[in-house]
Amino acid sequence: MIVHEYCHGLSSRLTGGPTNSFCLDPYAYLESANEGWSDFCSLFVTATNNTGKTRTIGSYSSWDPRGIRAFPYSPDFDVNPLSYSYVNYMSGMQPAESTHFLGTIFCTVLWDMYWAIIDFEESEGSLGFNKNKYESGVGGSNIAMLLVVEGLKGQPCQPSFVDSRDSILSADENMYDRKYKCLIWDVFAKRGLGYSAKPSPPNVLNVTESFDIPPDCVGPHLNLVSYELEVSDGDGDKFLDNCEVATLTLQIENTGIGHLTNLTLAELISKSNATLVWYKVHLLSQPLFLEEGEIGEISVSLVADDLSFGEPLTLDASFMSSEMIGSINITLSVDANSTDLLFHEMYSWDFSNGGDDWTLIEGIFILEKSPILFSVNQVGFLVIGAAFGMSACLTYFRTNCTTSFQLCSTNLFHRAALF
């Protein structure tokens, strides 16, 4: 009981920051797990090699072997059947009546996680239960406690059970690089706090439980680690412009369960207004095989068109393997600030004697940043101002790299560039 009360100070001061000790007030948000963390602290501190997986709270002080909670704490559902939907049984009750029962629900999940991590570490040949509770993060039992405490630090003020679950998952990502991710999801999902679970709205207890887990904890799953874009034919400003040939190298990781064989990039499509004129996939290893947690690379050459000023090019990369079909969303930076031009060839027309002739040039043109846009017959052009002697000079570029360019003006000396 002393540990339980002491832990209220720990959970209240860690949640929402050290200057706000009212973030777990059940009167502020009804779905409060406040009592659950205190029960878990008591279970953790008093656990020994012989106490086992089924425990009670307050048996000694209450003179009742069943303790003072609705059910004993146990991963055995025959002993403790609680799940997330039991929250709704407290609907309409005052926080003073419901808070301990709600805490029992959440502590049940934490106690399940505690033993799941102990069992996992032992299965890996590592230390499961550590009787030295001062060795933070050493042994499965201390790892579980560390995740709970770090979860308290990361969760928002007035957290729902779902918020607290997500904060523990974030703690695992930050400290253990998602080593226990699927284990944590499995534990929470078994008690109804799965991937699609919905918390209570304000001022009412009404949750939606779910027993599903994320796709990457069901089987193999791809995650984009990083990408590198190298423009191999263009103006050298490291941004992707229309018509420039670029190489996109993707680093992808198998973050799911099981290996991936014969992994290929099946399709690359644009999800923005720009279009992919052409692309070619280069597998850096043939065939690409990824074990759990392994990172591999796939390289793609591409040419884009119809890029908009300052707007990113968003691509959807669809992958296939013998075990899965999945996609990764990639957002690339395009040229937003460059004003330099790359002239492959130069052409000039002198209209100084008057006239408004049309000049047709066949070719592919570069898209560059410019503050001025205009159109001729609803065809977009870029205009770059310049000065040559006493004449006013303008350069016009068609904003589409795959069609022809038309130049029209009067009493001006013009020049244009094309590939």
User: Is 192 within the bounds of a domain?
Assistant: yes
Q: Are residues 184 and 246 in the same domain?
A: no
Distance of CA 340 to CAs 235, 241, 384, 407, Å? 8, 12, 10, 21
User: Is 246 within the bounds of a domain?
Assistant: yes
pLDDT value for 366: 32
Say if residues 400 and 306 touch (Cβ distance below 8 Å): yes
Tokens of 369: 């940043």
Q: Are residues 355 and 319 in the same domain?
A: no
Kindly report the CATH number assigned to the domain that includes residue 234: 2.60.40.10
Of 299, 332, 365, the one marking the end of a domain is 332
Write the single-letter amino acid at 363.
G
Phi, psi angle pair for 220, to nearest 5°: -60, 145
Q: Are residues 123 and 248 in the same domain?
A: no
Q: Are residues 202 and 242 in the same domain?
A: no
Whose CA is closest to 41, among 127, 188, 141? 141
Q: Are residues 40 and 84 in the same domain?
A: yes
Q: Are residues 141 and 259 in the same domain?
A: no
Q: Are residues 267 and 351 in the same domain?
A: no
Active site residue 5: yes
pLDDT value for 134: 93
Cα(380)–Cα(53) distance, rounded to whole angstroms?
A: 72
Catalytic residue among 5, 230, 291, 294: 5
pLDDT value for 331: 65
Q: How many CA atoms lie within 13 A of 175 on its CB side?
A: 20
Q: Report the chain's terminal Cα–Cα distance, integer Å.
A: 80
pLDDT value for 53: 94
Indicate the Cα dihedral angle 7, 12, 15, 16, nearest 10°.
-160
Q: Are residues 269 and 357 in the same domain?
A: no
Q: Is the peptide bond before 95 cis (omega within 30 degrees of 0)?
A: no
User: Is 175 within the bounds of a domain?
Assistant: yes
User: Is 339 within the bounds of a domain?
Assistant: no
User: Is 250 within the bounds of a domain?
Assistant: yes
Range of the domain at 38: 2-213
Cα(51)–Cα(42) distance, rounded to whole angstroms?
A: 13
pLDDT value for 82: 97
Other Cβ atoms within 10 Å of 325 Cβ, number: 9
Of 297, 332, 367, the one marking the end of a domain is 332
Whose CA is closest to 181, among 157, 164, 165? 165
Kindly report the CATH number assigned to the domain that includes residue 24: 1.10.390.10
User: Is 110 within the bounds of a domain?
Assistant: yes
User: Is 338 within the bounds of a domain?
Assistant: no
Mean pLDDT of the chain: 77
Q: Are residues 250 and 309 in the same domain?
A: yes
Of 213, 247, 276, the one marking the end of a domain is 213
Instruction: Give the residues of the chain that fall short of pLDDT 50.
Output: 335-400, 402-419
pLDDT value for 112: 97
Query: Biggest alpha carbon distance in the chain?
Result: 110
368 alpha-carbon distance from chain centroid: 33
Q: Are residues 194 and 228 in the same domain?
A: no
Q: Residues near 336 by Cβ (< 8 Å), separated by ≥ 6?
A: 239, 309, 310, 369
Cα(132)–Cα(179) distance, rounded to whole angstroms?
A: 23
pLDDT value for 4: 92
Q: Tokens 């301990």 identify what position?
A: 100
Q: Are residues 279 and 310 in the same domain?
A: yes
Q: Are residues 148 and 198 in the same domain?
A: yes
Report the number of distinct structural domains present in the chain.
Answer: 3
pLDDT value for 284: 52
pLDDT value for 14: 93
Q: What is the pTM of this model?
A: 0.62
User: Is 337 within the bounds of a domain?
Assistant: no
